[in-house]
């Protein structure tokens, strides 16, 4: 599998972690695109940053590029919610190695959300690396379930 392009966004609570990840992942050979913010503002609003990163992931994937995203905040919850509003995004909040790997293996999540105030920089880096490195299993049951979510997203139809 090729190394994905990684789109990253945060709010003020995740800026230190984001700066570390941009440097660390670039050093590991990832093509990292930083969607901001560029300067610290304790009153910033994360939705635009996260939506921009999520939109870029989907655009890259639609163009045939292997791309994943990272959204960071204090808890990661709001950032995950914002990213999930973008059609085609499956953003997963991860908090341990199991959830990081299963997000990719079972759910083919294309965006990972991490709470910068919930983990040390080292722990968060490990979770994100696990997410980025784990392939989707392509098991029929997971493909089927993701397909049902995509159908609902596109049409509003709930497939049984």
Task: Tell me the per-residue pLDDT of 38-88, one tens digit each, with 9 for 90 and over.
Answer: 988 888 899 999 999 999 999 999 999 999 999 999 999 999 999 999 999
Q: Residue 43's pLDDT is what?
A: 86
Q: Residue 147's pLDDT is what?
A: 97
Q: Which residues are catalytic?
A: 79, 106
Name the DSSP class of 107.
T
User: Virtual CA dihedral for 146, 153, 111, 59, nearest 10 degrees?
Assistant: 110
- What is the model's pTM? 0.96
Degrees to nearest 5, angle at CA 123 with 119 and 128: 100
Q: Are strands 91-93 and 111-115 parallel, antiparallel or unpaired?
A: parallel
Residue 2 pLDDT more than 90? no
Q: Are strands 5-9 and 111-115 parallel, antiparallel or unpaired?
A: unpaired
What are the tokens at 122? 């080292």
Contact at 8 Å (CB) between 105 and 136? yes
| pLDDT mean over 6-13 | 96
Task: Tell me the per-residue pLDDT of 101-139, one tens digit each, with 9 for 90 and over.
Answer: 999 999 999 999 999 999 999 999 999 999 999 999 999
Surface-to-core class of residue 103, CB atoms within 10 Å of its CB (0-12 exposed, 13-18 middle, 19+ buried)? buried
Q: Residue 1's pLDDT is what?
A: 61
């Amino acid at each position: 599998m090729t190394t994905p392009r990684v789109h990253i966004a945060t709010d003020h609570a995740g800026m230190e972690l984001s700066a570390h990840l941009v440097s660390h992942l670039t050093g590991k050979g990832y093509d990292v695109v930083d969607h901001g913010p560029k300067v610290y503002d304790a009153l910033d609003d994360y939705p635009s940053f996260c939506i921009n990163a999520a939109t870029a992931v989907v655009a890259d994937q639609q163009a045939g590029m292997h791309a994943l995203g990272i959204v960071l905040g204090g808890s990661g919850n709001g950032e995950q919610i914002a990213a999930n509003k973008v059609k085609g995004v499956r953003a997963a909040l991860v908090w341990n190695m199991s959830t990081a790997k299963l997000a990719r293996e079972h759910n083919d999540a294309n965006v990972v959300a991490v709470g910068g105030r919930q983990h040390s920089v080292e722990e968060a880096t490990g979770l994100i690396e696990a997410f980025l490195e784990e392939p989707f299993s392509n098991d029929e049951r997971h493909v089927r379930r993701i397909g049902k979510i995509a159908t609902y997203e596109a049409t509003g139809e709930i497939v049984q």
